[in-house]
Structure 1
Amino acid sequence: MTASTGAPAGRQAFDALRTQLRDAAATFADGPDVLADILSGIVDDVDRALAEPLEIFPVCHHSPASAVAMARRLREKQPTVVYLELCEDMAPILTELRNCRLPVAVQAFATEVVGFPAEWAPLSVVAPITEASAEYQAIAYALDTPGVELVLVDRSSDHVFQWSPREGTPEPSVPADAAPEEEAVLHGEAVGVEIGDLRPRFAELEEHLLHHGKVRHWSEWWHQYVEVPLGDSDHHTYRQVMTLIGSLFRRLAPGDPRRVRVDEDRERYMWARMREHLTRTGTDPADCLYVCGAFHAASRVPEFGVGGTDTFVISPPSGSTWRHGLIPSSHAAIEAQFGLAGGSVSIAATEWAKYLKRSRTTPFRLAGQAGTKRAPRKELPAPVADSAPTDALTGFLRRPPVLDALDESELLGWSVEIVRAARRNGYLASTADAIAVFQTSILLAGLRDRAKPTPYDFQDAAITCIEKDRVPGRRDVQRLVEIMMGGDRVGQVGYDALPPLARDVHDRLAPLNLPLQQRGVRRALLDIASYPELEACSDLLWMLRYLLPVGAARPIMGERRLGERPIQESWDLALGTHQRALIELGYEGVSVEQVLEQRLRRTANHPRATAAVVLGTVEDATLYLRSPRLAAELGTRALDVLSAERGVEGAPEVLARIRRLLAHHRTADSVLPPWIEAFVTAGYAHYCTLLPTAFVDDDATAPQVAAMLGFLFGMESLALSLGCDRSQLELALAQSHPREPDRVALLWAAQVQLGDLSRPELRARCDELLSNPLTLPAYPRYLSGFVHALDPVPGLVDFVVEAVSTAFARLPDRLLIPWLPTLVATLRTSGTHLAPRLTREAARTFPSTLPALDRWVPPWLQLDDDRSPAARHTGARVRLLASYPGSCTALAELLGYDDPWEESSPDRSVGLLAEFPDTAVAVEALVAP
């Protein structure tokens, strides 16, 4: 066993390497300095890790070399306890991995945030797991091997956020250039945790390695210089090299105090948990295996090791409620979250399959694991005794890179396949392009000192030879190569591993007979009139549409309105694609109805909620839940919020929502709910109080003031029947003294509605505005106010048509043309109920035929509106005869009247017209201009 060698033997094993590194540092640095200390310190870190009685197994996240080495080591050592660097509170959910298809992510989710800034909510932590990862091999071994205990020792999900900076919201580990594809956002905005974050934190070091390695990005460097050499190495070489790399990156990392503190606290946390477990169970450290990132294997904290100090105090968890589950993941999501190159995880999966075939290693797979080949059940052989560790680093560092022979058949297959895929995606590729890709791959590998082209060399060659100047389809050549190399595998959480809410959703949607757990869009047709049992599915789908992201449940035909029952509906469902969102709903409750009720309450009780927002929750509770109890509770909350408001910004939405709710309850219930009666009476008094201020408030707009008047006039009959006093409104209008033209027009309209202003007086005021050169430029703003007044005072629609027509006739072009866009915008923003009113009134007022238009006289040019139609026509003819006294006298003489026409005797002309109506009409047609 490794533990039996002891520390002195380990130090002697690396004495020769220390001497060589010191000599090299002295030679290249012209004397001993910091470089010698760094190189010597790296060897000391490796020596310290190997000498630890509890075997440390360093790994890299999603590394096939680490996974193969882990599978081999587990079969050789067969430990009884596996300590794994993973959030300790995620342990209970790991058994559900067997009901999933990898890759998936273990998630910790908290919606009820206590002890953290409110803007951080909801809190989410994910740990993605793929088959080609060392952590999955350890989990599968521990869960399926009798007598083996799996212990997660990393900080809890709560501590992930406790140790986050408090300046702002903790950012998820997503690089700025992350792929925007759908699969890349499967983890949402969760904070990712991983085992073995092996990447230089020293930017200059990474740039140096990429430059001299002749590679484009870190994933390619790791594949070429670590994955390939370590793929076939023995256990001692693998451990020493991985610890060496972790120590190198650790010692060359910049001294960010905050990040260093978090790293060291994680190591103290893990060693404290392991010592607690060893003390409690009495397990021999030699029978244990500690799986951690290579970065943490080279730890130098005092708490390191079984014999480390116990000075670290773990802080208590916050009061946040954490729920755990599994969500689907994908290769693209892992790459985006942890800053890996596109396609690197897919290439790692391909390399994993090659390593297994070449080394004939049998991997560990959970029994019943979906999406993997069923491995034959074999009994583990007897443990193999470990040999004493020797210096494998010296030989590894001196060994020249192994130049694999060119596998022409593999490269030729790649070249043919990429051309076939390119042609399917619209590229004009041919056999000549396949030959070019083949030769260019060999050329690029040679330029980069590689005998065998890597998948990255082949990808560069394919892009160079096939992708000429544009991408004809949805996918570029880089994406096609990634798909060809293994594709972006998307995991799936099985039915048995779903939370109760998600399982309930699938059970309730079973009558649709659709495979809703599969990815993609499924069309659902609901003939509710013929199959009434489908109405329950419709209710559930509308709630899911409200709760899930856009696209998860999208109605194609059908709508949900208050008081209406569905007849036929058509839906596009993508619950399998949005499985993560559905699972996260399960963290909030056990049923969709419960989650919807909680969210409505949370929205209504938010400190910044307005009366309009709370009324929206009342409408949603009535529409989706059909719950009078919840609607009454939220309606009471809306009443309290409205009474506390001092602004009128939400008045239009309040008016629209209370109108819909009032109309619904008037038709559906025999009596109105008490909360609506209370809201109407309180709203009447509230808006009467705010009306004088709103008329002169510069922040209040004309639509908002019009909405207040609409509430007061529209709810007036109900409010008066409930005990309100109309004098409140009269007094409010009397105290209102607006200065802006549109507000003045609204006040005039309100006075007409109350009877304080007659139509002739209103028309006279408008004529005065048009006749005064000083007020003429402001006349369009008065008209805009009258248009807004159609909502509270719909009886003014004929006057608005008259005013707009008069404006078109009399306003100069310099005022009329700039006003037209304002008029159109007013009609568009005021909803669909104003324009039809104006259109119908205009159609009723204006002639419908062209000949009638030639002799048409606008009604507003005739007598006042309070006279009868006959009187209006008679008055028009009197004015016509008064305009032509000579014609009138001649007509009187012709008819036998001797008295001359006098303008001061209209009664005589009226009697004349009444006695000879046909003649009057003929004269009118003859002399009218």
Structure 2
Amino acid sequence: MTAPATGPFSALRQQLTAAAEAFADSPDALAGILAGMVDDVDQALAAPLEIFPVCHHSPASALAMVRRLREKQPRVIYLELCEDLQPLLGELCNCRLPVAVQAFASELDGHPAEWGPLSVVAPITEASAEYQAIAYALETPGVELVLVDRSTDHVFQWLPRDPATARPGGGEAGAGDEGALHGDAVGVEIGDLRPGFAELEAYLLHHGKVRHWSEWWDQYVEQPLTVADHDTYRQVMVLIGSLFRRLRPARPERLDRDEDRERHMWTRMRQHLATSGVDPADCLYVCGAFHAASHVEQFGLAPDAPVYEISPRTGTRWHYGLIPSSHSAIEAQFGLAPGSVSIAAATWTKAVARSGLTPYRLDGQRGSRTRRRGTPAAAGGTAAPGPVTDRLSGFLAAPPELGGLDEAELRGWCVDIVRLARRNGYLASTADAIAVFETSILLAGLRNRARPTPYDFADAAVTCIEKDVVPGRRDVRRLCEILLGGDRVGQVGYDALPPLARDVLDRLQPLGLDLERRTVQRALLDLRAEPRLAPCSDLLWLLRHLLPPDAVRPIMGERRLGHRSLQESWDLALGRNQRALIELGYEGVTVEQVLEQRLRRAVRGPEATAAGALAAVADAIRLLGSPRLVDELGTRAVELLAAERDVDDAPRVLRRIRRLLAHYRATAPALPGWGEAFVTTGYAHYCTLLPTAFVDEQAGVRQVGAMLGFLFGMEGLALSLGCDRAQLELAVAQSHPETPAKTALLWAARHHLGLLPLAELRARCADLLANPLVVPTVPQYLSGFVQALESVPGLAPFVVELMSTAFAQLPDPILLPWLPTLITTLREHGPELVPVLIREAARTFPGTLSEVDAWVPPWVAPAAAPAPPAAPAASVVRLLTEHPESIDAVARLLGCAGGWRPEGPAAHAGPATLLTRHPETASAVADLLTRGSAVPG
């Protein structure tokens, strides 16, 4: 673009060019930048469509907007905001600012799946130019508001498809509780005025003697422009936007994206002007100062400008709504200094009171009093634009106005911060208030400021009051933020909520609580005395499953399979978690529908597992009680189990299917079809994988033990449903483990199947303890035996015996190094099974100290001498002879009634003859009667 030789800014252009030649090492480059900035200002002001440059959340921009709207009374306002968000703006009257306009998509079509879910937010505060324009357009008859920026779908279309980036940026890590109000949404703002050139920003901060860009902007731009007239404001803002645009790093992808936005906005404005026939003089284009200095071909309203083709949107379905926002959430998302938005709100309030202006507010705006305005002039541009005059030269050359020190305001801050500090546990006094006052003035003087700013006051308060830092106590800087305006948190009104959120609030009305408050409230439900609260309890358990943990938290009561508490106590913070509740409304009309959809997605997704499907079945039973959905989820669990090729989830599968089968046995006459199919499929599946799992290094002892637990625990049910036990015996016979723990598991499995008697198992373990080369691995064998208790609980006495024998026989040089390995092994592989051993040991060992000396372990007790074969114990012979009824009953069952003893006189000799010929049984019974206890094992 060729610079005009004449014009309102020709003198300024020549002055800047001469300064560049005099002071710069490369005068041509600097002169080009400075002259180009002036040309950008001239171009923006000469456009037939009035351009109003703004900065995001800037009180100066908001004040200038109010002045211009009252003077110009435009008929059409073009606003730089995503065009598909326009239907939501009418709902702002039902909210308490700040809030954010949101677009949300969970099911993506045309965008990378790993980006989902997608979310875009545009925060709105009262101290912003965009809110003043929106309020004016919605409250003034005959005024049209048109959003012209690219749609939210194009926001993600234009992002680089970098495979290394899992999600597009936009999160605010470290923002705290309130920063989470926006989650990981991508933020859209009007007028992002910040140098893209890091060296320039560092230079400005260093010479401005400030720590953060927000403080520099407030000191050198915000405060001077608060009292500036409209022409000066426009020229300065376009000049700053041009400066930052020209000094940003050369990143083609960012430049193309910004220019595409500008082409999109000018194309939409041209289309609207062509269809509506409105005069451009009656319109106002509100955009960021960065975009006011645009160089695209579509800039302006020239008829010969090339046509820009806007790409179609993808098939992604977007949901729209309002979510609560806060000052700290805005600061965190857009990289502003903590407390800067609160300071801007305080500056706005003070500037409005000082200027006498009446800002625009939506009627019915919650949390603010609507000031009644006079009858507005008919919209239609009552103020014709005057000739453009150079206001930049005077503004740039004039020194800053030296405002006097407002001692009353500063004194009030000092007194209030001391009071607030004492309330929060600091030992502050009147002397500290005086010190803060004097230090604030001192810091302002050191930083070449005419009067202390809120940032100077906060630094002085930290220096004078925060003498120590106590964990859990609010720091003084945070107290200053609270004092200067606080972290104001917005709220979406009932009428602006989605149907699901309104339904939740309506259904919880019987609790008698104001659930829109941000405080935590306690709800007490006595379901036995007030059965009408049972639906509220059901809904609370649903919300507990869907919302963040702190939104709905049970204090007393539980909801598990087959159990419902009669009394419940809840801590409810739905007002604080309004965003999460609103986003549930994007997924369905009712909470039950949302949960059903999520359960279906959980079992149909690419990461679905059989254990996850069983958990979904349990949730459907507990929370929904839908047999149709339970059968669908259970059938899917069977399919997932049959498709699994590893056994990583075997412990979770075993635990969850046991609970579900126990529930059905207690509440239903028969198992459902999917339950029977799961047992039979799991039996065959784990039998097939068992030999591989025994030798696979990736399959742990816990997983193999859970497989055996499933096979042995479900064996009776599986056999009754048609499974073959030979398959299990064959799988065990084909297993050849190499590690000690899995070897112990195999021994336990063979013992359970009757292939390894207890005496032989005891002998093998005795050989382990007797072999000094194998003793170091005994803890691993014990770990395997402990895991075997899952499938063979009858081994608990033998495991106690093995551990006791090891402690009794091993010498200290071997036992002491052995103990840490034993403890860590048991803690790692079987923490939930150790209590089984403890209970068994409590039953085995004596309960009092006096019994220890006389106690003899049952596994070392001397066996009773066997009776001679020809002379069984007399007591047994007498028992069988005098009381033959039990023997007769057994004989009848065997089909031998009356045949075991002779009739007549020899009847009494029958038992003696039988016992004499077959003395084994009588000898065993006699031994039991003599010892009085069963043989271990």
Q: Could you state the TM-score of these two structures normalised by the residue count of structure 1?
A: 0.90
Q: Which amino acid aligns with 2:706?
A: A
Quick one: structure 1 residues 25 and 777, their matched pair in 2 at CA, closer, same or farther if it must change by over 3 Å? closer
For 1:185-224, list aligned pairs within 5 A.
185-224=180-219
Q: Distance in 1 between matches of 2:42 and 2:643?
A: 70
Q: Distance in 2 between matches of 1:605 and 1:229?
A: 60
Give the CA deviation at 1:32: 4.3
Give the CA deviation at 1:829: 5.9
Q: What percentage of aligned pairs have identical amino acids? A: 68
Say whether the 8 Å CA contact 1:142–1:149 is kept in structure 2.
yes
Give the CA deviation at 1:750: 1.1
Q: Distance in 2 between matches of 1:814 and 1:528?
A: 63
Quick one: structure 1 residues 248 and 29, their matched pair in 2 at CA, closer, same or farther if it must change by over 3 Å? same
Q: Which amino acid aligns with 1:118?
A: A
Q: Which residue of 2 aligns with 1:776?
A: 775
Q: Which residue of 2 aligns with 1:21?
A: 16
Q: Which residue of 1 aligns with 2:494?
A: 495
Q: Deviations along 1:734-768, whole A, 9 cap, x unmatched?
A: 11111211111111111121111211121122222
Q: Which residue of 1 aligns with 2:287?
A: 292
Q: Does 1:696 align with 2:666?
A: no
Q: Which residue of 1 aligns with 2:325?
A: 329
Q: Distance in 1 between matches of 2:817 and 2:672?
A: 48
Q: Which amino acid aligns with 2:368?
A: T
Q: Which residue of 1 aligns with 2:591?
A: 592
Quick one: structure 1 residues 627 and 676, their matched pair in 2 at CA, closer, same or farther if it must change by over 3 Å? same
Q: 1:342 aligns with which of 335, 338, 342?
A: 338
Say whether the 8 Å CA contact 2:358–2:373 is kept in structure 1.
no
Say whether the 8 Å CA contact 1:10–1:389 is kept in structure 2.
no
Quick one: structure 1 residues 852 and 415, their matched pair in 2 at CA, closer, same or farther if it must change by over 3 Å? closer
Q: Distance in 1 between matches of 2:496 and 2:196?
A: 37
Q: Which residue of 1 aligns with 2:31?
A: 36
Q: Distance in 1 between matches of 2:661 and 2:777?
A: 38
Q: Distance in 1 between matches of 2:737 and 2:430?
A: 80
Q: Distance in 1 between matches of 2:620 and 2:168?
A: 34
Q: Distance in 2 between matches of 1:585 and 1:18?
A: 57
Q: Distance in 2 between matches of 1:206 and 1:504?
A: 50
Say whether the 8 Å CA contact 2:500–2:591 is kept in structure 1.
yes
Q: Distance in 2 between matches of 1:312 and 1:813?
A: 87
Q: Distance in 1 between matches of 2:174 and 2:429?
A: 29
Q: Which residue of 2 aligns with 1:538?
A: 537
Q: How many residues are matched?
A: 870
Q: Which amino acid aligns with 1:252?
A: L
Say whether the 8 Å CA contact 1:760–1:865 is kept in structure 2.
no
Q: Does 1:353 align with 2:310?
A: no
Q: Which residue of 1 aligns with 2:907?
A: none
Gaps of 5+ in 2: 868-872, 874-918, 933-937
Q: Deviations along 1:604-629, whole A, 9 cap, x unmatched?
A: 11112221112111111112111221
Say whether the 8 Å CA contact 2:37–2:243 is kept in structure 1.
yes
Say whether the 8 Å CA contact 2:787–2:830 is kept in structure 1.
no
Q: Distance in 1 between matches of 2:52 and 2:40?
A: 14
Q: Distance in 2 between matches of 1:569 and 1:71?
A: 53
CA RMSD of aligned residues (A): 2.5
Q: Deviations along 1:504-552, whole A, 9 cap, x unmatched?
A: 1111111111111111211111111211222221221112111111211
Say whether the 8 Å CA contact 1:174–1:338 is kept in structure 2.
no
Q: Distance in 2 between matches of 1:283 and 1:822?
A: 85
Q: Secondary structure at the match of 1:12?
A: coil
Give the CA deviation at 1:340: 0.6
Q: Does 1:80 align with 2:75?
A: yes
Say whether the 8 Å CA contact 1:131–1:137 is kept in structure 2.
yes
Q: Does 1:368 align with 2:367?
A: no
Q: Which residue of 2 aligns with 1:424?
A: 423
Give the CA deviation at 1:386: 2.9
Give the CA deviation at 1:359: 1.4
For 1:244-263, list aligned pairs within 5 A.
244-263=239-258
Say whether the 8 Å CA contact 2:79–2:130 is kept in structure 1.
yes
Residues 459-468 or 148-157, more deviating = 459-468
Q: Distance in 1 between matches of 2:488 and 2:300?
A: 39
Q: Which amino acid aligns with 1:349?
A: A
Q: Secondary structure at the match of 1:501?
A: helix
Give the CA deviation at 1:558: 1.3
Say whether the 8 Å CA contact 1:427–1:472 is kept in structure 2.
no
Q: Distance in 1 between matches of 2:456 and 2:528?
A: 61
Q: Which amino acid aligns with 1:110?
A: A
Give the CA deviation at 1:126: 0.4
Say whether the 8 Å CA contact 2:768–2:775 is kept in structure 1.
yes
Q: Does 1:443 align with 2:442?
A: yes
Q: Which amino acid aligns with 1:83?
A: Y
Q: Deviations along 1:753-796, whole A, 9 cap, x unmatched?
A: 11112111211222222223333332222222111111101111
Q: Secondary structure at the match of 1:109?
A: strand
Q: Secondary structure at the match of 2:120?
A: strand
Q: Secondary structure at the match of 1:125?
A: strand
Quick one: structure 1 residues 602 and 820, their matched pair in 2 at CA, closer, same or farther if it must change by over 3 Å? farther
Say whether the 8 Å CA contact 1:109–1:322 is kept in structure 2.
yes
Gaps of 5+ in 1: 1-6, 869-873, 875-906, 922-929
Q: Secondary structure at the match of 1:90?
A: helix
Q: Distance in 1 between matches of 2:515 and 2:13?
A: 61
Q: Deviations along 1:778-815, whole A, 9 cap, x unmatched?
A: 22222221111111011112111111111111233344
Q: Distance in 2 between matches of 1:512 and 1:227?
A: 48
Q: Distance in 2 between matches of 1:46 and 1:866?
A: 115
Say whether the 8 Å CA contact 2:262–2:294 is kept in structure 1.
yes
Q: Which residue of 2 aligns with 1:661?
A: 660
For 1:661-680, list aligned pairs within 5 A.
661-680=660-679
Q: Does 1:459 align with 2:458?
A: yes
Q: Does 1:54 align with 2:49?
A: yes
Q: Distance in 1 between matches of 2:369 and 2:142?
A: 25
Q: Secondary structure at the match of 1:13?
A: coil
Q: Which amino acid aligns with 1:235?
A: H
Q: Which amino acid aligns with 1:427?
A: Y
Q: Distance in 1 between matches of 2:66 and 2:101?
A: 21
Quick one: structure 1 residues 72 and 219, their matched pair in 2 at CA, closer, same or farther if it must change by over 3 Å? same
Give the CA deviation at 1:634: 1.3
Q: Could you state the TM-score of these two structures normalised by the residue count of structure 2?
A: 0.90
Q: Deviations along 1:674-727, whole A, 9 cap, x unmatched?
A: 001011101000000011111111111111111101111111111111111110
Quick one: structure 1 residues 104 and 651, their matched pair in 2 at CA, closer, same or farther if it must change by over 3 Å? same
Q: Distance in 2 between matches of 1:287 and 1:589?
A: 43
Q: Which amino acid aligns with 2:321?
A: G
Q: Deviations along 1:71-116, whole A, 9 cap, x unmatched?
A: 1111111111110000111111111110000000001000001122
Q: Which residue of 2 aligns with 1:45?
A: 40
Q: Which residue of 2 aligns with 1:549?
A: 548
Q: Secondary structure at the match of 2:852?
A: helix
Give the CA deviation at 1:180: 3.6
Q: Distance in 1 between matches of 2:828 and 2:672?
A: 31
Q: Which amino acid aligns with 2:632?
A: E
